[in-house]
């Protein structure tokens, strides 16, 4: 079941894997960690092409590390790794605690190659997300998961946003990082320009936007290809970013809440758009 067992946190191999928790080493090696059985399962499924969706670049699971208990509990992962010729290494609890980035490790971690695609490598885009100055990895991962659920064709992380391979972002995406094309590190102007040249209307999600989401939908402005730009959790989108788009759109609030958080606003915008596109 396992090609090797690691019991020492001083092992050079284990130290090398642990370094992937830092962005500098991730970018140098173009590898990252997917932690937990769900993330590892999705990575293995995507790598085998079994998720039923096209990829700009097929994810590659380099190797899997798991405790003996996790191997017994998640025998399907071991079998999937074996079927994909992915080395699976058994590790002690101490080693897993060293590798894991969570307080309570679930006992299994995969080393994966980067899965992002170039902006010009995207195919037809009917619904896309642009993350501009989004800094919280948990929020970014949740928006990525929401975009996947709403049937989006791409999520673009601009150069001012968080690293999608941050461990918290990967976990918050709940495997969606492996489901749809992700673009990383492009300027927001280039991302918006690309979508508009592709024939999409691009809207800026802004709590102070002059048009509300429902009126935009009623006017038919969400029926065709659409891109949504979401901004920083605390201060939203800069004016210069809004001017790049077709306009700022707010989510109507009918109760006493001051505003919606980023992930909730993104969910409302994306699902409203997905519904309009399917009805049209």
**Domains of the chain: residue spans and CATH:** 4-113 (3.30.1330.30), 119-279 (3.40.1280.10)
pLDDT band at 266 (very low <50, low <70, confident <90, very high): very high
Average pLDDT of the residues in 185-203:
97
pLDDT at residue 4, as a whole number: 64
> In the chain, which ranges are continuous DSSP H helix?
12-18, 23-29, 37-47, 68-73, 75-83, 93-99, 137-149, 167-172, 188-197, 213-218, 239-242, 262-279
Measured between its terminal Cα atoms, the distance across the chain in Å is 51
Whether 54 shows a pLDDT value over 50: the answer reads no
Q: Which residue is associated with the tokens 């020492």?
A: 8
pLDDT band at 279 (very low <50, low <70, confident <90, very high): confident
- Between residues 2 and 218, the one the model is more confident about: 218
* d(C-alpha 1, C-alpha 145), whole Å: 32
Average pLDDT of the residues in 149-173:
96
Tens-place pLDDT, residues 203-229: 999 988 899 999 999 999 999 999 999
Describe the chain by its helix, strand, coil percentages, rounded to 5. 40, 20, 40
Structural element, H or E, at residue 113: strand 108-113
Whether 53 shows a pLDDT value over 70: the answer reads no
Contacts of 181 (CB under 8 A, 6+ apart): 55, 56, 117, 121, 122, 153, 154, 155
Distances (CA, A) of 129 to 60, 79, 185, 261: 24, 35, 14, 16
Alpha carbon of residue 61 to chain centroid: 16
pLDDT band at 59 (very low <50, low <70, confident <90, very high): low
pLDDT at residue 265, as a whole number: 95
Phi/psi for 155 (5° steps) reads -125, 125
Q: Which residue is associated with the tokens 């090398």?
A: 16
**Residue 110: beta bridge partners?**
34, 64
User: Residue 25 class from Cβ within 10 Å (0-12 exposed, 13-18 middle, 19+ buried)?
Assistant: middle
* d(C-alpha 68, C-alpha 47), whole Å: 24
Average pLDDT of the residues in 73-79:
94
* d(C-alpha 263, C-alpha 38), whole Å: 21
């Amino acid at each position: 079941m396992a090609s090797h067992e690691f019991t020492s946190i001083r092992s050079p191999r284990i130290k090398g894997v642990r370094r992937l928790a830092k962005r500098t080493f991730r970018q140098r090696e173009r590898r990252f960690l997917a932690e937990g059985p769900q993330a590892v399962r999705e990575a293995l499924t995507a790598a085998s092409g079994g998720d039923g969706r096209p990829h700009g670049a097929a994810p590659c699971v380099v190797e899997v590390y798991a405790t003996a208990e996790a191997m017994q509990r998640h025998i399907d992962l071991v079998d999937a790794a074996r079927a994909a010729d992915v080395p699976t290494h058994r590790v002690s609890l101490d080693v897993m605690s060293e590798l894991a980035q969570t307080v309570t490790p679930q006992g299994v971690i995969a080393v994966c190659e980067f899965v992002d695609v170039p902006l010009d490598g995207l195919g037809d885009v009917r619904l896309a997300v642009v993350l501009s100055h989004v800094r919280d990895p948990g929020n970014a991962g949740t928006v990525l998961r929401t975009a996947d659920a709403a049937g989006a064709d791409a999520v673009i992380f601009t150069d001012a946003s968080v690293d999608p391979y941050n461990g918290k972002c990967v976990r918050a995406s709940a495997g969606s990082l492996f489901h749809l094309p992700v673009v990383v590190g492009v300027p927001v102007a280039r991302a918006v320009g690309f979508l508009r040249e592709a024939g999409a209307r691009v809207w800026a999600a802004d709590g102070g936007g002059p048009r509300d989401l429902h009126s935009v939908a009623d006017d038919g402005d969400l029926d065709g290809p659409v891109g949504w730009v979401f901004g920083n959790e605390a201060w939203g989108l800069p004016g210069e970013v809004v001017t790049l788009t077709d306009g700022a759109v707010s989510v109507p609030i009918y109760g006493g809440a001051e505003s919606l958080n980023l992930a909730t606003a993104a969910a409302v915008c994306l699902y409203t758009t997905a519904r309009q596109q399917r009805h049209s």
